[in-house]
Amino acid sequence: MSAKPVILVTGADLAPQAVALLADYEMVYAGATPSPDELLRLTSQHNPTAIIVRFGGVTPVIMDAAPALKVISKHGSGTDTIDKQAAAERNIKVVAAVGSNAAAVAEQALALTLACAKSVVKLHARMQAGHWDKATHKNVELNGKTIGLIGLGAIGQKFARMVDALDMRVLGFDPYAKDLPRYIQPSDLDTIWRESDVLSFHCPLTADNRNMLNARTLAQCRKGVIVVNTARGGLIDEPALLAAVQSGQVAMAGLDSFAVEPLPVPHVFRHQERIILSPHMGGTTSDAVVSMGVAAARNILAAMNDSERATCSSGKSVAGRRSNADVVDDNVG
């Protein structure tokens, strides 16, 4: 075993700029689609000091397999795939690369919004098949329409600025957001459901908001609403959304995240003309991958420095684990 402490990356690679920052560590990569069993095996074999989470999750069993584990660093801003309560109980710090993929995810939300409003996918397919629907098809104009944003962290606020530039009225719900820009109108959820022509989700998934868009809340929405989700699939009751699309209550849906990922085959959303799908890749631009990797690396270094200072000040070993684990999170894309 290497003399260097180990960092396990739950992915096939890490940006070279991030690897350079972590030169004092041995890097172990779990591959592009690591299974829970593979992550457990690698954790048991290498006893990492830190884990960078790209794909998959970190469970209590995985934490217990690494007595040296001090920090779990998310390669991105959403930490719902990490059991944060279990980490706190084990004095393991959980940190996120807050805001590092905000531009990328906001752009994906804008792309899906425009694709839904302008029927981009449908008209492309029709043109490829030899049709010319100019006289019969009508798109949606977003100018002057109302968009409701659920989650106003770095991504939500970036997206808000984009749609404000389209002269949309922007409603926003986030009980934790402070000092919002003038173009976001703070609103409660009932108002957002009732008044929005477009709904877009930018919040972390919690026990309290799971399936927040469901048959009941969809029924409160304007007929023909557009639904966009670049956050977490569990925010939406998928069968309820499908029923709303099929009934016309939802005109179009643009989805980049799903309750189960990768999206199973078959799945009720596949082959639905009015549901546009992308494989949870809003944050995976070439620029964002570098930003997230560097932020994840810096978060590890900061956490390790904190741990060393705590050990020195106490005058005794803390067995590689901090007291009072910290969790840093952001509204996700």
Q: Tell me: the pLDDT tens digits for 192-239?
A: 999 999 999 999 999 999 999 999 999 999 999 999 999 999 999 999
pLDDT tens-digit series, residues 47-88 = 999 999 999 999 999 999 999 999 999 998 889 899 999 999
Point out the catalytic residue in the list 141, 261, 273, 308.
261
- Host H or E run for residue 50: strand 50-53
pLDDT at 320 over 50: no
Q: Span 36-50, mean pLDDT?
A: 97
pLDDT at 324 over 50: no
DSSP, collapsed to helix, strand or coil, labels residue 226 as strand
Q: What is the DSSP letter of 58?
A: B
The pLDDT assigned to 322 comes to 33
The amino acid present at 292, given as its one-letter code, is M
The length of the chain in residues reads 333
Which residue would you say has higher pLDDT here, 329 or 18?
18
Q: Per-residue confidence at 329, pLDDT binned at 50, 70, 90?
A: very low
pLDDT at 286 over 90: yes
The pLDDT assigned to 306 comes to 83
pLDDT at 111 over 70: yes
Point out the catalytic residue in the list 46, 54, 90, 232.
232
Asked if 182 is an active-site residue, the reply is: no
Which residue would you say has higher pLDDT here, 59 or 315?
59
pLDDT tens-digit series, residues 175-189 = 999 999 999 999 999
Point out the catalytic residue in the list 202, 280, 321, 322.
280
The pLDDT assigned to 2 comes to 56
Asked if 26 is an active-site residue, the reply is: no
Q: Span 13-29, mean pLDDT?
A: 97
Give the range among 135-144, 169-178, 299-308 with minimum mean pLDDT: 299-308
For 265, counting Cβ atoms within 10 Å of its Cβ (0-12 exposed, 13-18 middle, 19+ buried), the class is exposed
pLDDT at 93 over 60: yes
**Integer CA distances (angstroms), 144 to 113, 149, 165, 256, in order:** 15, 16, 11, 25
Asked if 216 is an active-site residue, the reply is: no
The verdict on whether omega for the bond into residue 48 sits within 30 degrees of 0, i.e. cis, is no
- Cβ atoms within 10 Å of 253's Cβ, excluding its own: 24
Q: Per-residue confidence at 44, pLDDT binned at 50, 70, 90?
A: very high
Q: Per-residue confidence at 157, pLDDT binned at 50, 70, 90?
A: very high
Residues 156, 149: contact at Cβ < 8 Å? Answer: yes
Mean pLDDT of the chain: 92
Kindly list the structural domains of the chain, giving each domain's residue range(s) and its CATH number in brackets, ordered by start: 6-100+286-314 (3.40.50.720), 102-277 (3.40.50.720)
